[in-house]
Structures are given as C-alpha cells and as structure tokens.
Structure 1
Amino acid sequence: MQGIRNLFRSAWSSAERLEDKTVVITGANTGIGKETAIDLAKRGAKIIMACRDMERGEAAKKEVIESSGSENVLCMKLDLADSKSIREFAEAINKDEPKLNILVNNAGVMVCPYGKTADGFEMQIGVNHFGHFLLTHLLIDLIKRSAPARIITVSSMAHSWSSINLEDINSEKSYDKNRAYSQSKLANVLFTRSLAKRLEGTGVTTYSLHPGVVQTDLWRHLNAPQRAIMKMVSPFTKNSSQGAQTSIYCAVEPSLDKESGGYYSDCAPANCSAAGKDDVVAQKLWDMSCQMLSLTWE
C-alpha cells in the first residue's frame, strides 16, 4: 500500500544549499551515484566521487561538472572489494579533508556469479556490507568532527527477501546469488540501525533507503527470465535521476535532523522487514563484522 500511496504523492524537492559541505559518494561514476553527485554539486557541496575504475570515474567527473556547473568535484580511487584500497582512500581523505559532512555509501554489486573479494569475503556481502562498514569506521572520527553530519547507505526492498546467515555469511556452503544480494542489503539496514545507536548525541545521523526499482548497470547479471520480467515492469521503474531522489532526500532534508537509524523509500519514512528491526541479529552482525575486518569500533 505504501508504494501505491507514494505514487500519488507529489514529488519531493528542496532548495536546501550545501555550501561549505564536503560529500563522499561511493560508486559515483554511474547510475544513481552519479545523479546524486550532480544534485549535491548543484547545491554547492564539494563532491568526492569514490570510484573503482578511474577511467570511468574521470569521464563521469566531467559529466558531473558539466551538468552541475560546479568545478568543486574530485574523483578518487576506491575499490570496496579490497580493504587495502579502502584504507588508502580513507587515509587520503583524513589527511587532505578538514571535514566530511555527508557520506553516501552507494556503491553495490547485484546478483553476480560467485566470487570473492581480496579479503576472502563473498563478493556481494564483501562490497555491499563489509567494504562500507570498514570505510565508515575509518572516516567516522572526521565525520564526528564535522557534525552535524549524515551517513546514508543505499539498501533495497530486496532486504526483506532474506535473512542474515551468521553461520555462513560468505555463502561458502551454498550460494544463491539472489539470496546473497538480499542478505547484503539487509546487512545495510541493520548496520544503519546499529550505527545510529553508537552515534547518539554526536550530531551524526544515519539512514538506509530503497531507491526504487531503478534501471542501472546493476541489472547486467540478471538471467533471461529475470530480464524479461524487468522489461515487463520497466514502465513502472525509475530512471537513475528518479532513483537518486531518496538518497538526496536523506542527505539534505532538514526535517531528518533529529531522525536516525531509519529506513526510507520514495522520499519518505518506510517500513523495513521485521528482520531489519532485529537488534539482536544487528549486534551479532556488528561484532562479526569487527572481528572479520580485525577492527575495534568503540
């Protein structure tokens, strides 16, 4: 019902400005990441596009500069499938940037064939969850010093189609690419909840969101029947610009200042699954993430 109601709600828009704000967006060279970069650049923010492929990243940077009219755009190398790359990126940000007001954990891989990250994690949970978990951890002190600040993690309604398999988080016993994707998106929702608790009173707020069913590069691993279904529903899907709206809403909407840890869709609060509200599993996932990444998060 919520989805139908949202169809008829007037589109959200805001004239909010972001002068003197610095924004990091992962996976900003394509799709909704690039559209988010364009919008926030138009609002006057300094944009740091964190991209795995620097050639595509530089091409996207030109596009962001042209579309936004802002020159204050950087492209930096970040491979979320490699903790060494994540550490190098975070080190450079911590060294060169006096502040970081908005972090958009946007990059993601979807229903890909089985593969592992440089650190041995299954690719989808590795990039979508562990990579962003580590990145956020390494930048959190700078983000806190920049408060009021926001951390936005792009999840998906797919989070409600699976649970977290703590016994086999890397799908080594059996791999179902759809379930592994859903698990990684549920991890995004739980991470946001846990993070909100740890950040209470710091002036840093967190949000997870479903961007909508968006036509992006992520579809490239769908099988033929899945692609046929997507073709059928495509009149009801969003383009990248529409898909970016909820990310932008979570980044700039003033009424969210006092909200933290929630899940959003169509530029409004939305219901996540019961599994997405399970604080016991959220805590276990948090502890496991710290352990697997060999870090202590006070």
Structure 2
Amino acid sequence: MDLSAVSRAGAVAAAAAARRVVMVTGANGGIGLALCERILSEDDQIHLCMACRNMQKAEAAKSELLLSHPGVDISLLKVDVGNINSVIKAAKEIKKRYQRLDYLYLNAGIMPFPHFSLKAFLSGLFSSMFATGEGLLTQEDWLTDDGLQQVFMTNVFGHFLLIRNLEPVLCQAGCASQVVWTTSSNARKSAFSLTDYQHSQGQESYSSSKYATDLLSVALNKHYNIQGLFSSVVCPGLVMTNLTYGILPPFFWTLLTPIMWLIRVFTNTFTLSPYNGSEALVWLFTQKPESLDPLVKYCSCTSGLGNNYVAPCKMDIDVEVAEIFYQELLKLESKMKANNYITGDHN
C-alpha cells in the first residue's frame, strides 16, 4: 500500500470537507449570477452550488463563471421554488451532497405581468413614494397546482420549505450558517395583510411577498439563532435585470435609461447594474452572522460617482406580527402535508 498516496488522498478529502458551501437560488442570471461571480472573487476555494429552474441557462452561467475563475468548484442543482415537489426533491439532493451548508442565498423570485403607472413614476421621481415604489407597480397572480398563490409560493413559501427541509445541514452545533434573502425597497407594510398573506385579494403581490420575507427573516432568527442559523435581508436597490426590463416596452427603456443615470447623481438607491446591486449580498459573505442586527435590512447603494457601499436600514417590522406570520406558515406546511402535497418529515 502506498501510504503517501493514502495520505495525499486524505489531505485532499479534508480540504474538500473544510470548504465553505454556498448555495444561491436563481443563480443563472441578473443579481444571482453577479453574486456568484463576486463571491468567487472573494474566495475561490468555496464550493458553489447554483440552484436554478432552467438547467440550460444554468449550464451557460456555470461556463461563464469557469472562464473567469478556472478550476473553481461549481455544481448545479435543479429547483423550482414555485413548486413544492421540486423544493422537497432538491432539499433531499442537497442533504445527500453536503454535510453542512454555510450560506444559503434566497435570490430567486418573480414579479409576473407587472403593470406600470407612468403617472405615479413621473410624480414620484424625487419623492419618498418613488423610493418605496408605492403605486408604481401592480401585478397579476394565479394559483399553482398546489393551490397556492404563485407569487407567494415562489417568493416566500418555497424558500421557507427549503429552509425547513434543510435544517440538518443548516443547523449544526458550533457552526453558524447564514440565510440571506434578496428583498426589495418595494417591500411595503401597507401591501401586506395577515388575513390575506398570500395576497389573493390584492394587486401588489410582489410588494406583499417581499414584506413577508422581511417578517419571516425576523421570525427565523427568533427560532433558529440558538441552533446556529442566522437570517438577513438585503435590498439590491433599483437594478436593471430581465425582471425590471419586463415592466415596460423596450423603447421606453431607451428613453428612460439616460434619465435614470442622471437621477443616480441625486439618489443612492439607483444601483442599476447587477454587480452594484449585489454589493450588500457580497458584504454579508464577509461578516460574522452573529454580529448582524436581525431588525436591519442591508441595502446596496451606489453614489453619483459610481462608488458602491452598504447602508443598514431599520425595518418597519412588528415582531409580534412576524411571529404570527411564522406560525401561519407552519400551519400551512402542516396543511400541505395533510393534503399530501408534502410527503415525509421535513428533517
């Protein structure tokens, strides 16, 4: 037996086991892909798991990352957070692959069929209304095959189920894991209701879902910090992605883009590029999760000169409401199990 070869193999296995594992949902484009690129620039020794719905786009994104970071350790995982079966299947696969998960970036999300109010846009350009997005966008929504509102399922409940099913690899004694939600300045308290948390009766499902993730993050910290799991929320600012470009016809963006660059001189929330928008997400990768404030949203900002920085912003959150919402999600999870939408124990 070649003991030196065995020793080298053991050293390689130990090094692989010591690598931090980072998983990003919605990683094949926009802010998710920019985040992957920047995290690999911070630490090219991590194992990156790109969790995507479209595997063809995921393969293309992986190839793009390998061009700029040859030799890095990247794997792909198929998951549609808008589908319960897909989430449960993906969670089982993750638990087979990894002994622990250090970072879980919950970045996937949808804003279907947005309707844009040009009047609200023009009247609110330099007002607080524009900063919050109030009145600018309404959306259409529909029911999933599981009987849930699609936006709520994709942006909130699918990720909640993912966390619940990943407890064994996220919650380990002596090792802190971090969950990071990509939320929005459009996360408004006025759009959310505990009596209609799926937002089946309104027209601002996206805003409601993003406020719901803010609530959920606060509640997760209350219940999971003692188990070594910490949750934070990030606002990327106004970023031009496929989701954003879908709001208006292309010729409108041709007219508006120069104006938006001008506005950025006066407001730090116009990050515009996915790279800039990922600033707070990458910053959290360098922080100790135990040191973060659970009631703060970390915002990506860009100065008029193009300098990126992170600004903490206290969230408009009622802790009691966050706890009630968390309990409602647990009840919904139990209901889905009772109706056989979810099979097996979440652990």
TM-score by length of 1: 0.83
Maintained 8 Å contact 2:178/2:230: yes
Distance 1:161 1:220, change over 3 A: farther
Aligned equivalent of 1:249: 283
Q: What SS does the corresponding residue of 2:225 show, helix, strand or coil?
A: coil
Q: Please, which runs of 5 or more residues in structure 2 have no aligned partner?
A: 1-17, 114-139, 265-269, 301-309, 338-344
- Determine whether 1:258 maps to 2:291: yes
RMSD after superposition: 2.5
Q: CA deviation at 1:30?
A: 0.5
Q: What SS does the corresponding residue of 1:253 show, helix, strand or coil?
A: coil
Aligned equivalent of 2:145: 118
Q: Mapping of 1:141-290 within 5 angstroms? A: 141-145=168-172, 147-160=175-188, 162-172=190-200, 174-176=201-203, 179-223=204-248, 231=257, 232-235=259-262, 236=264, 237=270, 238-254=272-288, 256-261=289-294, 262-266=296-300, 267-272=310-315, 274=316, 277-290=317-330
Maintained 8 Å contact 1:206/1:260: no
Match for residue 130 of structure 1 among 157, 163, 178:
157
Aligned equivalent of 2:63: 62
Aligned equivalent of 2:97: 96
Q: CA deviation at 1:221?
A: 3.6
Distance 2:71 2:101 in 1: 18
Q: What SS does the corresponding residue of 1:159 show, helix, strand or coil?
A: coil
Q: CA deviation at 1:171?
A: 3.4
Distance 2:184 2:256 in 1: 16
Maintained 8 Å contact 1:41/1:72: no
Distance 1:243 1:70 in 2: 26
Give aligned-pair identity as a percent.
25
Aligned equivalent of 1:3: none
Maintained 8 Å contact 2:199/2:208: no
Q: Deviations over 1:146-197 (max 9, x none)?
A: 722211011111113634222223333x341xx2111111011111100111
Q: What SS does the corresponding residue of 1:47 show, helix, strand or coil?
A: strand
Aligned equivalent of 1:15: none
Aligned equivalent of 2:48: 47
Distance 1:170 1:38, change over 3 A: same
Q: Deviations over 1:236-295 (max 9, x none)?
A: 3320111111111112224x54225231113232122x2xx1122212211121222227
Q: CA deviation at 1:208?
A: 0.4
Q: What SS does the corresponding residue of 2:219 show, helix, strand or coil?
A: helix
AA partner of residue 291 (structure 2) = K
Distance 1:157 1:68 in 2: 32
Distance 1:260 1:93 in 2: 28
Maintained 8 Å contact 1:110/1:124: yes
Distance 1:71 1:200, change over 3 A: closer
Q: CA deviation at 1:297?
A: 8.4
Aligned equivalent of 2:304: none
Distance 1:169 1:55 in 2: 34
Q: Using CA pairs under 8 Å that are at least 6 residues apart, name the structure with larger relative contact order, 1 or 2.
A: 1
Higher deviation after alignment, 237-246 or 195-204: 195-204
Q: CA deviation at 1:67?
A: 2.2
AA partner of residue 219 (structure 1) = T
Maintained 8 Å contact 1:47/1:73: yes
TM-score by length of 2: 0.72
Aligned positions, number: 273
Maintained 8 Å contact 1:162/1:182: no
Maintained 8 Å contact 2:28/2:57: yes
Distance 1:242 1:136 in 2: 27
AA partner of residue 145 (structure 1) = Q
Maintained 8 Å contact 2:182/2:233: yes
AA partner of residue 94 (structure 1) = K
Maintained 8 Å contact 2:165/2:346: no
AA partner of residue 110 (structure 2) = V
Distance 1:258 1:88 in 2: 33
Q: CA deviation at 1:224?
A: 5.5
Q: CA deviation at 1:223?
A: 4.3
AA partner of residue 27 (structure 1) = G
Distance 1:148 1:167 in 2: 34
